[in-house]
Amino acid sequence: MIIGSVSEDIKVEKRVALTPEILKKYKTLGLKICISKGYASHIGFSDSEYQNEGVEVLNNKEEVILKSNILIQMGIPSNDDLKLLKENQTLIGVLNPYNNEEKLKNLISKKVNCFSLDLLPRITRAQSMDILSSQANLAGYKAVVDSFSIFEKAIPMMMTAAGTISAAKVLVVGAGVAGLQAIATAKRMGAIVYATDVRMASKEQVESLGGKFLTVEGADNLETEGGYAKEASIEFKKKQEDLLKETLKKIDVIICTALIPGKKAPVIIKKDMIEEMQSGSIIYDLAASQGGNAEFTKPNEVVDYNGVKIVGEKNILNKLPVSSSNLYSKNVFNFINNLYDKEKKQIDLNFEDEIIDKTNVRFNGN
């Protein structure tokens, strides 16, 4: 059984699915690995580091895809690469079925097994495979560090002979994994932190990290069985807007992390709210890839509106490719370890296993 992985388009995605530190674990399963030449050189991992662990480095992506039984990637491969996949091969990655339905239907029609790790169920047994959590943790941390580097004032309170500098006030929109890490990071750096979320279950987590939770009446039922936020009612949105509009007058930095799986990100920070903010404030929008939580967000651009800088970050983890790749490669190994039958030395499509069943990409039950 051969595991393969090929280079991504590094202009879009710098992360890789295999890092040198995970290779020994694949060996313990008796799996062979091949990669394309220069696979991770852009993030400092040389081909020789892989070869020293017994990895075969092939000349090009085509050779790797044709030779592999299982192809593991970060995102969905290019159309040219997908054409090379054939019956009984397995593709594992963050395939984003909501946006790549046609590509995935074509693969499934060729009897390629497709597993999308963004569909993992939120169950205890899947925690070691949970790529959304591992990547979101890093995203929340980096968003705070980046936004503070743009903000032109000190973050912690400072008492000097010349006077006192007040601590920066931060609002985190969305208290999921990224949001909670943002709260923890901002708090450690000395900011006063507020947070809002449609799920009342988040209140205790926010407060345990030292944040102040902005409570909107009626938020206690806006959570799916899987633990994700679901779309709010018009009435709830109006209450949230009124609360936010008043709060934002004193906020220096907003970190936006609110996403609904498979849907456009909810626009929470509206034009009239931004107009109430102080000049020099920062809105750092991690939801930019799905439209953004702020009204003026543009992916990979900084928009200046009345002195408020709105940063639209499409893929923040390209700024932390080594750390995020190391975590992702461990998540993928744990998934394969669950999927691979060690005795039969083959993929075990056991759909009674909730992890395998939920991540296997099918449309209309097929």
pLDDT digits (tens, 9 = 90+) for 64-112: 999 999 999 999 999 999 999 999 999 999 999 988 999 999 999 999 9
Query: Taking residues 213-232, what's their average pLDDT?
Result: 62
Amino acid (1-letter code) at residue 70: I
Summarize pLDDT for 282-306 with one digit per residue, the tens: 999 999 999 999 999 999 999 999 9
Statement: the pTM of the whole predicted model exceeds 0.85: yes
Helix residue spans in the chain (DSSP H): 23-28, 47-51, 61-67, 79-82, 101-109, 131-150, 177-188, 202-208, 234-247, 271-274, 321-339, 354-359
- Give the separation between CA 179 and CA 182, rounded to whole angstroms: 5
Q: What 3-state class would DSSP assign to 154? A: coil
Q: Angle at CA 133, nearest 5°, toward 131 and 134?
A: 65
Co-location of 113 and 167 in the same domain: no
- Tell me if 125 is assigned to some domain: no
- Label residue 226 left, alpha or beta by phi (over 0 means left) and psi (-120 to 50 means alpha): alpha
Residues 261 and 112 in one domain: no
How many domains does the structure of the chain reveal?
A: 2
Q: Is 133 known to be catalytic?
A: yes
Claim to verify: residue 163 and residue 34 sit in the same structural domain? no
Structural domain contains residue 238: yes
| Confidence label for 230 from pLDDT (cuts 50, 70 and 90) | low
- Contact, 183 vs 206, CB < 8 A? yes
In a domain, 126, yes or no: no
Query: Are both 219 and 92 inside the same structural domain?
Result: no
Residue 239: per-residue pLDDT: 80
The pLDDT value recorded for residue 227 is 53
d(CA 240, CA 197): 9
Q: Are residues 313 and 326 in the same domain?
A: no
Same domain, yes or no: 145 and 281: yes
| Domain limits for position 235 | 136-319
Same domain for 279 and 180: yes
pLDDT score, position 236: 73
Structure-block tokens of residue 260: 């609904």
Residue 102 covered by a domain: yes
Choosing from 122, 278, 305, 357, the catalytic residue is 122
Q: Kindly tell me if the per-residue pLDDT of 168 is higher than 80.
A: yes
Q: Annotated catalytic residue: which of 47, 128, 228, 289?
A: 228
> Is pLDDT above 90 for 234?
no
What's the chain's average pLDDT? 92
Asked about 228 being catalytic, the answer comes back as yes
Catalytic entry in 133, 240, 281, 324: 133
8 Å CB contact between 173 and 256: yes
pLDDT for 223: 56
Residues 115 and 227 both lie in one domain: no
Same domain? For 287 and 172 the reply is yes
| Cα distance between residue 244 and residue 258, in whole Å | 14
Q: Name the nearest CA neighbour of 245 among 210, 275, 213, 206.
A: 275
Residue 268: CATH number of its domain:
3.40.50.720
* Percentage of the chain lying above the pLDDT 70 cut: 95
Q: Identify the active-site residue in 15, 26, 130, 197.
A: 130
Same domain, 206 and 344: no
Q: Which is the catalytic residue, given 78, 127, 233, 346? A: 127
Structure tokens at 195: 């947070």
Whether residue 314 sits in one domain with residue 326: no
Q: Is the pLDDT of residue 337 over 90?
A: yes
- Count other Cβ atoms within 10 Å, centred on residue 285: 31
Amino acid at site 278? Q
SS3 state at 283 = strand
Structure tokens, 253: 């930095």
User: Is 127 inside a domain boundary?
Assistant: no
In a domain, 148, yes or no: yes
pLDDT digits (tens, 9 = 90+) for 105-131: 999 999 999 999 999 998 999 999 999
Q: Which of 69, 65, 19, 34 is nearest to 341 (CA)?
A: 69
Taking CA atoms, 292 is separated from 159, 268, 269, 284, in Å, by 37, 9, 9, 10
